[in-house]
Structure 1
Amino acid sequence: MDSDRARGVLLGLACGDALGRPVEFSSATQIEAKHGQLTEMVGYGAWNQPAGTITDDTEQALCIVRSIAEQQGFDPADIAERFVAWYDSGPFDIGRMTMRSLSRLKHGDEWDEAGQHVWEQSREGQNAGNGSVMRCPPLTIPYANDWEQLVEVSRQSSRITHADPRCTYGCAILNLTVAGLLDDADTPLQDALDYVGTDAPDELLTALRPLARHESPDTLETSGYVVHSLQTALHDGLFAESADEAIVTAVNRGGDTDTIGAIAGAVAGARFGATQLPDRWLSAIDESDELEALAGELVEVA
């Protein structure tokens, strides 16, 4: 496996997350009025944090990565415990379904029960958020060459907090696409869609098939709905001409900027490699060195 591309998955995710953090919830028009085009790590704004601060996207991804490195493989119960410890630390940003699921885990649910219970108790429109797809790309590195296992661990990772099939299969399709990019595949998204076939929800397949044909939808939404987030982030991650263009484009669309930026960043990082991410971004993120080291450990696990 190309170690530069593997490092790109983790560091690209963090760059998109940190660049998008200060403008989360802003519209594209509001971002343009304040920043022109946001291309630099800036401080404060949403969540009132210093420049380069990561959010729950990267923090949960780190829980997954640290677990895999220490356990030498995917252990969903261990990851769930790490999520709960992170939840108990008082993060400034946490999604509603994640919070409800982790609360249930803390009070006795098993790793494969909490997310299911929360999903069953949530109405349509509040039951398929992007909180699991934003953190899942690191799973690709140790399982890139075993697609059957990659689909299984991707879906199980999602189920800890997000059990809706649009979320579980969203994680699987995203990670299969990233795996294809790590292997320099010509048609990574189409290969991913072919692999999951009709098992994945129609709504997800309908949104992503045009991208696999390299067609841009008339409208790209930036809400926290998992189908919107994946369509927009995969579009920008796969269609851009450079890693920084993918992330900047995704973030400047507005909306759920940190998560869409994180997903697009992971995809672009797998395409172009860590060396193509701007040094000025990486130096602003305190966790960059740990992410780089952990990427190497995940390659060793693979």
Structure 2
Amino acid sequence: MTSARASGVLLGLACGDALGRPVEFRSARQISAEHGTLTEMVGNGTWGQPAGTITDDTEQALCIARSLADRSEFDPADVADRFVQWYESGPFDIGNMTRQALQRLAAGDSWEEAGQAVWEASPEGSNAGNGSVMRCPPLAIACADDRDRLAEVSRQSSQITHADPRCTEGCVILNLTIAGLIEDADAPLQEALDYVGADAPDELVTALQPLARGDPPDTLETSGYVVHSLQTALHDGLFAESAEDAIVTAVNRGGDTDTIGAIAGAVAGTRFGASQLPDRWRRAIDEIDELEALAAQLKEVP
């Protein structure tokens, strides 16, 4: 595993998140009317934050990465505690299922119980958001050479807040794809899909299999539904000709721009390496030095 690819996972995630933050929930037409093609970190916009501000996507990924670095293993109870501490700090952006699960954790639920209870109480249409896939890529660095372990911890990391199989298996597929890119696999997404096999919901496989074949669909959705987010972000992350193009394309589609940008950025950052992410983006993000240091530490997690 090269340092450039390990760093690219986390830095790409943060760049996509921060570029997409000011235009979250806006349509492609609205973004175009205001920015033309958004290629620069800008301030204000959605959430009214300074240019380069990360959101819950990178903040939760940092919780996972810090826990992995501190404990030299994945400890879901420790990660859950860190999520609660983060929630109690008053983040400006947090998803509904995540908020509900963290409230249950704060009230005493175990990490195995909280996300499961929220999922069971949520109707179809609001029970399979992208809030766990956006934060899971640090696990791919730590467990890149152990697919069975990576699949196990990816499911557990999702279960804390998102227990729907589309979310848990979505995390597995994303992380196995990133690990495949780290390890120079010939067909990382196809190998990830082959690994999960019948464990993955049909809807998820149906959406992702055409990408693995190199035959993407004509229409890509940008909602916060985990299947849409993964399909669109993996498309842009795997097919773009540069890391910058992947993130710019993902963000300018509109919709859930920070999360789709973050996932596409993690994938493209792995493909092309951290050095291919624009310096002007990296300079705008306060957390870049810590993310680089954590990536180096995660490479050494046994």
Into which bin does the TM-score normalised by the smaller protein fall?
Answer: over 0.9
Distance 2:267 2:129 in 1: 19
Distance 2:206 2:170 in 1: 12
Q: Which residue of 1 aligns with 2:89?
A: 89
- Counterpart residue type for residue 167 of structure 1: C
Q: How many residues align?
A: 302
Cα displacement (A) at 1:216: 1.7
The 5-angstrom pairing of residues 217-256 of structure 1 reads 217-256=217-256
Distance 1:12 1:65 in 2: 14
TM-score after normalising by structure 2: 1.00
Distance 1:253 1:186 in 2: 28
Q: Which residue of 2 aligns with 1:14?
A: 14
Q: Which residue of 2 aligns with 1:98?
A: 98
The 5-angstrom pairing of residues 142-161 of structure 1 reads 142-161=142-161
Cα displacement (A) at 1:295: 0.4
Q: Deviations over 1:205-229 (max 9, x none)?
A: 0000000001121110000000000
Distance 1:287 1:254 in 2: 25
Cα displacement (A) at 1:301: 1.0
Unaligned runs of 5+ in 2: none
1:25 aligns to what SS in structure 2? coil
Cα displacement (A) at 1:239: 0.3
Distance 1:49 1:232 in 2: 26
Distance 2:187 2:149 in 1: 21
Q: Which residue of 1 aligns with 2:110?
A: 110
Cα displacement (A) at 1:153: 0.1
- Counterpart residue type for residue 98 of structure 1: T
Distance 2:58 2:88 in 1: 17
Q: Which residue of 2 aligns with 1:274?
A: 274
Distance 1:108 1:185 in 2: 42
Cα displacement (A) at 1:113: 0.3
Distance 1:282 1:251 in 2: 17
Q: Which residue of 2 aligns with 1:37?
A: 37
Distance 1:240 1:120 in 2: 38
Distance 1:151 1:69 in 2: 19
Q: Which residue of 2 aligns with 1:52?
A: 52
Q: Which residue of 2 aligns with 1:173?
A: 173
Unaligned runs of 5+ in 1: none
Distance 1:257 1:4 in 2: 25
Distance 1:300 1:229 in 2: 30
| Coordinate RMSD, CA, aligned | 0.5
Q: Percent identity among equivalent residues?
A: 78
Distance 1:163 1:49 in 2: 31
1:58 aligns to what SS in structure 2? helix
Cα displacement (A) at 1:198: 1.0
Cα displacement (A) at 1:190: 0.3
Dislocated runs of 4+, deviation >3 Å? none
Distance 2:199 2:111 in 1: 23
Distance 2:293 2:134 in 1: 20
Q: Deviations over 1:93-142 (max 9, x none)?
A: 00000000000000000011000000000000000000000000110011
- Counterpart residue type for residue 139 of structure 1: L
- Counterpart residue type for residue 152 of structure 2: E
